Amino acid sequence: MRITPSGTLILAILLGLAVSCQKASPRPESPAQIKIVATIFPLYDFARNIGRERVNVSLLLPPGVEAHAFEPRPSQVQKIAEADLFIYTGKIMEPWALDVLQGVKHPGLGVVEAGQGIGLLKRGEEKEGEGRHGHHHLEADPHVWLDFANAVTMAENIARGLIRVDPVHREFYTRNARQYEDELRALDARFKTGLSRCARREFIHGGHYAFGYLARRYHLEYLSAQGFSPDSEPSPRQLIELVRQVRGHNLKYIYYEELIEPRVADILSRETGAKLLLLHGAHNVSREEIGRGITFLELMENNLRNLQIGLQCN
């Protein structure tokens, strides 16, 4: 069952009233475990690493569901209403979040906008040669976590949110956040080193425009078949131009994205003979990946290896 944005808001208001009554008594100063709901996989994994045994983190996106088309069902709105902390990226990535929060907001719910303080890459602001793409439905690129300096900021925001709802364990969250941020900085250093000596600097992605931040940080030229949102479709003229680019640059690989049928990447591969490689945006993961405990850092290490193959790096 899908509900309209107005229906979501009405449902959220009703749930908020119910939960507000249920939570009239103050929360314990130091609860046994903080209940967290995170919208997308990076936030879910950041919160797990910072909160560790003090938290119980739920991923709002069901495994395998594409993030951009997601709207919460009534049961998922209820899950937010019953949480101690709700973590989302921002209004561009989760346009439904503010409407839901207007209804379920109550004294027991902390809210973290993890992307707060991060400047967005807006349409038309890519540097010349940095990235080109097809039609747009979004005005700004919401995939901020793919610049690992931004990921550090998101981890800091999450740690502050945890401290607000559980101040007794401030030092615990602060220590864990610093350790995880060091891991993100080390990942950033590995990308800088691993992509510094490559025969090629350009890569073509048969999915939506998700890697603009990564391309900008590591001085790569990025071409994608679609805009910021996966429901944008390249025109025949744009596909012809991408085929020309692959052939003109003698590229041996085309990248495809996770959880979506790689239709465009397959077309480019068939037309040019280029092989396919996965480049994972980490919005969400499959049920099998969740089951084996995959991490954001692991997904990004896989991306680095595949980029090194495609860019012919030493």
**222 and 180, same structural domain?**
no
**150 and 39, same structural domain?**
yes
Final residue in a domain of this structure, among 133, 163, 186: 186
Give the phi and the psi of residue 135 in degrees, each rounded to 5. Answer: -65, 155
Task: Report in angstroms the alpha-carbon separations of 127 from 121, 135, 215, 219, 251.
Answer: 10, 18, 10, 10, 22
**237 and 111, same structural domain?**
no
**Domain presence at residue 265:** yes
Final residue in a domain of this structure, among 186, 215, 240: 186
**220 and 88, same structural domain?**
no
**278 and 151, same structural domain?**
no
Q: Are 196 and 214 in contact (CB under 8 A)?
A: no
Confidence of residue 138 (pLDDT cuts 50, 70, 90): low
Who's near 298: CB < 8 A, 6+ residues apart?
none
Model pLDDT, residue 21: 38
Cα torsion 184, 115, 265, 308 to 10°: value is -20
Final residue in a domain of this structure, among 136, 160, 186: 186
DSSP string of 235-299, one letter each residue: -HHHHHHHHHHHHHTT--EEEE-TTS--HHHHHHHHHH-PEEEE----S---HHHHHTT--HHHH
SS3 assignment, position 10: helix
**171 and 38, same structural domain?**
yes
**Domain presence at residue 82:** yes
**162 and 260, same structural domain?**
no
**28 and 92, same structural domain?**
yes
**157 and 200, same structural domain?**
no
pLDDT per residue as tens digits for the range 90-129: 999 999 999 999 988 677 899 999 999 999 998 655 443 3
Query: Residue 56: is its pLDDT beyond 90?
Result: yes
**Domain presence at residue 139:** no
Who's near 167: CB < 8 A, 6+ residues apart?
none
What is the number of structural domains in the chain? 2
**89 and 31, same structural domain?**
yes
**241 and 148, same structural domain?**
no
**Domain presence at residue 157:** yes
**Domain presence at residue 127:** no
For residue 75, how many C-alpha atoms fall within 13 Å in the half-sphere facing its CB?
A: 3
**Domain presence at residue 164:** yes
Distance between CA 86 and CA 88 in Å, rounded? Answer: 7
**216 and 86, same structural domain?**
no
Query: Residue 142: is its pLDDT beyond 90?
Result: yes
The closest of 230, 59, 54 to 142, measured between CA atoms, is 230
Distance between CA 115 and CA 151 in Å, rounded? Answer: 9
SS3 assignment, position 131: strand
- Count of CB atoms within 10 A of residue 288's CB? 10
CATH of the domain at 284: 3.40.50.1980
pLDDT per residue as tens digits for the range 25-51: 344 444 579 999 999 999 999 999 999
- Packing angle, helices 148-165 and 41-51, rounded to 10: 60
**Domain presence at residue 17:** yes
Model pLDDT, residue 139: 75
**Domain presence at residue 49:** yes
Determine the structural domain holding residue 108 and report its residue range: 5-115+144-186
- Measured in whole angstroms, how far is the alpha carbon of residue 93 from the centre of its chain? 8
- Residue 245 is encoded by which pair of tokens? 């680019």
pLDDT per residue as tens digits for the range 250-293: 899 999 998 877 888 899 999 999 999 999 999 999 999 999 99
